[in-house]
Amino acid sequence: MSVRQVEEENIRIARQAIEAFNTGDASRIHEFIAQDYFNHESQASPERAKLRGPDEVIDTIRKLRSAFADLRYEEQEIIASKDKVVIVLMVSGKHVGDFFGIPPAGRSFSYPAVHMYRISIGKIVEHRAIRDDLRFMMQLGVVGPASPQYEQIFQAWKGFMR
């Protein structure tokens, strides 16, 4: 296979992962997630830091789909280079269930994220993400101005981020 063909195949594989998150269907995870898959994002949680491979992805999908109704990862741009695929996304949904200790707020959200995948022998072996967590937490109502004097700035910024 040429480098270009490998990159196109890697894009197809990364899109399968995004589709699993969009649909909640984890039945084919084993087809495109390696047994030694490592998710850097799960390391923040002590119990999730132990998970690897398809089990980690399945657990993540279940937790996110139970916390967020209408969860959607909308591709904005996708770039492949050799064994790496980078996807720029808009993530949206509605907070309807517990999200790692944050009780449901019933609020809708939309924030940009970049997901980076490393692929080897036809399967995803590593994942990293860069998300606009500040925007996300503001939209869930977890983060707000520290004092009334910042309320106007906060509201202007919040409006700008929509």
| pLDDT band, residue 71 (cuts 50/70/90) | very high
Q: How far apart are CA 150 and CA 154, in angstroms?
A: 6
54-66 average pLDDT score: 94
| pLDDT band, residue 162 (cuts 50/70/90) | low
| pLDDT band, residue 160 (cuts 50/70/90) | low
Q: Can you give the pLDDT at residue 46?
A: 75
pTM: 0.87
* Residue 85 or residue 147, greater confidence: 85
| pLDDT band, residue 74 (cuts 50/70/90) | very high
Q: Can you give the pLDDT at residue 97?
A: 97
Non-local (6+) Cβ contacts of 128 within 8 A are 40, 41, 115, 116
Count of other CB atoms within 10 angstroms of residue 123: 17
61-78 average pLDDT score: 96
Q: How far apart are CA 69 and CA 50, in angstroms?
A: 27
For 78-135, write each residue's pLDDT tens digit: 999 999 999 999 999 999 999 988 999 999 999 999 999 999 999 999 999 999 998 8
Q: Can you give the pLDDT at residue 159?
A: 62
Tokens of 63: 């937790």
For 5-58, write each residue's pLDDT tens digit: 989 999 999 999 999 999 999 999 999 999 999 998 887 777 777 888 999 999
3-state secondary structure labels for all residues of 35-88: EEEEEHHHHHCCCHHHCCHHHHHHHHHHHHHHHEEEEEEEEEEEEEECCEEEEE
